[in-house]
Amino acid sequence: MAPVTDISQLDPTQSYTYADYLSWRFTEYVELIKGKILRKMSAPTSEHQQLASNLHSVIWSYPRRQPCQVFSAPFDVRLLHSTGNGDAQIRIVVQPDISVICDRK
Domains and CATH numbers, the chain: 7-101 (3.90.1570.10)
Query: How far is the CA of 73 from the CAs of 3, 19, 44, 52, 94, in angstroms?
Result: 25, 21, 12, 10, 10
d(CA 91, CA 36): 8
d(CA 76, CA 78): 6
- Span 51-92, pLDDT tens digits: 988 888 888 777 666 778 888 877 888 887 766 667 888 899
Please tell me the predicted confidence (pLDDT) of residue 82.
65
